[in-house]
């Protein structure tokens, strides 16, 4: 088993880091990156199958009625206004369908909205439950606060980590593209030198248009992440589709949620609450990296050199064995 893991790790080392982002013309959700989104995706598929069956059945009934009971086929219709059996069926069946949908819906909402008890999970020893991560629970929470700003930027705070001055580690994350025309090579050089030129760098696979941020949020893989949201003036919404999370950032209120990502990579989102003229240019970029790379990033971030810390995570290092596979071995 360990030889298989070694071969897979060597293969993954040469593969670019996974990036989750919208794809033109795609159908369905983005690939799930958390157990939360996996459950949402499965629930969505189940409901899609159910409503497809209902739609086909109702359409078939309508076609049958139109063909069998039109004026030409049925010139003398029967005259009645009620049918007890039919009325009972069309009342009870929809109720049963709604109850069948409500069960897993409430279960998913409870799983997503209630913070896991890591002490209980760490002591459970249940390796077969896909909804819990024992080794991650033993390491505790990592807390990140995402604060929406009035200049259409995000400020990320790490309240459990302090810099060299004794303050919580924090930095501002701005969108790389702000809706201007693409810079010419000479304009880009001047812009990078600090000159205020109203143009945007070209979109690249590494910096997709309206999704990339200059200083992304960074979290380690295979760790329970508690995220909090707040805002300084207007309502924003911190949303990452692949994580299955969407939480409003409201002035004067602290909201929170959680997620755990097993696969290192780059995950994109956008503010999903209309917040003003630059709402479209308020991206969310989350880089999920191995624990060792995250520790190095945090060490540099504590010195206050945000640019150097960001450079450390531009290339995501290959991950080792995943927690669940390692425990199974």
pTM of the predicted model, to two decimals? 0.85
Residues 158 and 294 in one domain: yes
pLDDT at 126: 84
CATH number at residue 235: 2.60.40.420
- Say if 183 falls within a structural domain: no
Tens digit of pLDDT at every position of the chain (329 positions):
333 333 333 333 333 456 788 888 888 899 999 999 999 999 999 999 999 999 999 999 999 999 988 888 888 888 878 889 989 999 999 999 999 999 999 999 999 999 999 999 999 888 889 999 999 999 999 999 999 999 999 999 999 999 999 999 999 999 999 999 999 888 888 877 778 888 889 999 899 999 999 999 999 999 999 999 999 999 999 999 999 999 999 999 999 999 999 999 999 999 999 999 999 999 999 999 999 999 999 999 999 999 999 999 999 998 765 444 444 44
pLDDT at 31: 93
- Say if 48 falls within a structural domain: yes
Residues 106 and 238 in one domain: no
- Say if 257 falls within a structural domain: yes
- Say if 205 falls within a structural domain: no
Residues 168 and 302 in one domain: yes
Q: Whole-angstrom Cα distance, residue 292 to residue 222?
A: 12
Question: Nearest CA to 34 among 132, 127, 110?
Answer: 132
Question: What is the domain extent for residue 53?
Answer: 35-113
Residues 164 and 278 in one domain: yes
Residues 221 and 92 in one domain: no
pLDDT at 12: 37
Boundary (domain end) residue, out of 113, 142, 166: 113
Residues 165 and 275 in one domain: yes
Looking at the 3D structure of the chain, how many domains does it have?
A: 2
- Say if 153 falls within a structural domain: yes
- Say if 155 falls within a structural domain: yes
CATH number at residue 84: 1.10.287.90
Residues 108 and 168 in one domain: no
Question: What is the helix (H) or strand (E) element at residue 206, kind and residue range?
Answer: none
Do residues 162 and 168 make contact, with C-beta atoms less than 8 angstroms apart? yes
b/e per residue 77-92 (b: at least 16 CB within 10 A)? eeeeeeeeeeeeeeee
Boundary (domain end) residue, out of 62, 83, 113: 113
pLDDT at 85: 92
Residues 219 and 74 in one domain: no
- Say if 129 falls within a structural domain: no
- Say if 240 falls within a structural domain: yes
Residues 168 and 293 in one domain: yes
Boundary (domain end) residue, out of 82, 113, 144: 113
Q: Whole-angstrom Cα distance, residue 257 to residue 9?
A: 32
Q: Whole-angstrom Cα distance, residue 294 to residue 273?
A: 30
């Amino acid at each position: 088993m360990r030889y298989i893991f070694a071969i897979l790790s060597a293969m993954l080392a040469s593969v670019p880091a996974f990036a989750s982002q919208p794809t033109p013309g795609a159908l369905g959700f983005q690939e799930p990156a958390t157990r939360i989104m996996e459950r949402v995706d499965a629930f969505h598929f189940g409901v899609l199958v159910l409503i497809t069956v209902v739609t086909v059945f109702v359409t078939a009934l309508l076609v049958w009625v139109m063909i069998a009971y039109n004026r030409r086929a049925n010139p003398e219709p029967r005259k009645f206004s009620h049918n007890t059996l039919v009325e009972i069926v069309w009342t009870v069946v929809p109720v049963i369908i709604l109850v069948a949908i409500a069960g897993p819906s409430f279960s998913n909402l409870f799983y997503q909205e209630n913070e896991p008890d890591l002490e209980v999970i760490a002591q459970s020893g249940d390796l077969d439950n896909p909804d819990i991560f024992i080794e991650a629970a033993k390491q505790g929470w990592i807390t990140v606060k995402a604060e929406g700003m009035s200049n259409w930027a995000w400020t990320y705070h790490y309240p459990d980590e302090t810099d060299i001055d004794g303050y919580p580690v924090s930095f501002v994350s701005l969108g790389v593209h702000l809706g201007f025309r693409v810079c010419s090579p000479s304009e880009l050089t001047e812009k990078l030198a600090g000159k205020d030129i109203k143009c945007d760098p070209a979109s690249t696979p590494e910096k997709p248009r309206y999704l990339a941020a200059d200083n992304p949020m960074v979290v380690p893989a295979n760790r329970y992440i508690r995220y909090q949201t707040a805002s300084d003036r207007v309502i924003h919404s911190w949303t990452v589709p692949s994580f299955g999370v969407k939480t409003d950032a409201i002035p004067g209120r602290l909201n929170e949620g959680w997620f755990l990502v097993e696969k290192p990579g780059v995950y994109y989102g956008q503010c999903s609450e209309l917040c003003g003229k630059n709402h479209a240019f308020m991206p969310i970029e989350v880089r999920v990296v191995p624990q060792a790379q995250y520790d190095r990033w945090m060490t540099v971030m504590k010195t206050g050199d945000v640019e150097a810390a960001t450079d450390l995570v531009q290339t995501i290092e290959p991950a080792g064995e995943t927690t669940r596979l390692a425990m199974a071995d």
